Chain A
Amino acid sequence: MIKVEHLVKTFGEIEAVRDISFDVAQGEIFAFLGPNGAGKTTTIKMLTTLLRPTSGKLEIDGLDPVTQQHEVRKRFGIVFQDSSTDDELTAFENLDLHGALYHVAKRTRRERADMLLKLFELWDRRNDPVKQFSGGMKRRLEIARSLLHTPKIIFLDEPTLGLDPQTRNQLWTHVKHLNETERVTVFLTTHYMEEADRVAQRIAVIDHGRIVAQGTSAELKLQTNCETLEQAFLALTGSTIREESANAGADQMRNMARMFRRPR
Chain B
Amino acid sequence: MMTIYMLWLRQLKRYIRSKPRIIASLGQPLLFLFGLGFGFGPVFQKAGQGNYIQFLAPGVIAMTILFTSIFSGIELIFDRQFGFLKEMLVAPVPRLLIMIGRTLGGATVALIQGLIVLLICLAAGFRVTTFSALPMAFIYMVLIAIMFTAMGTAIASVLSDFQGFQLIMNFLVMPIFFLSGALFPLTNLPIVLNVIATIDPLSYGVDGLRASLMGVSHFGSATDLAVLSALAAVLLIIGGRLFSRIQL
Contact = CB atoms under 8 A, between A and B. Distances in A.
Interface of A: 45, 48-50, 69-71, 73-74, 78, 80, 82-89, 93, 96-98, 100-103, 129, 145, 253, 256-257, 260-261
Interface in B27-81: 81
B11 to A, nearest CB: 10
Contact of A48 (B18, B90, B160): B90
B16 to A, nearest CB: 10
Given A84-B83, A86-B10, A100-B2, 16 more contacts: A49-B90, A80-B86, A83-B83, A84-B85, A97-B6, A97-B7, A98-B91, A100-B3, A101-B3, A102-B91, A103-B93, A253-B160, A257-B81, A257-B82, A257-B83, A260-B81
Contacts of A129: 17
A31 to B, nearest CB: 21
A38 B6 CA distance: 38
Contacts of A103: 2, 92-93
B18 A88 contact: yes
Given A88-B14, A100-B2, A253-B160, A260 B82 contact: yes
A196 B89 CA distance: 29
B13 A89 contact: yes
A60 to B, nearest CB: 13
Nearest to A104: B2
A246 B91 CA distance: 26
Contacts of A257: 81-83
B208 to A, nearest CB: 33
Given A74-B92, A89-B13, A253-B160, A84 B86 contact: yes
Nearest to B18: A88
Given A88-B18, A101-B93, A102-B91, A80 B81 contact: no
A78 B83 CA distance: 13
Contacts of A48: 90
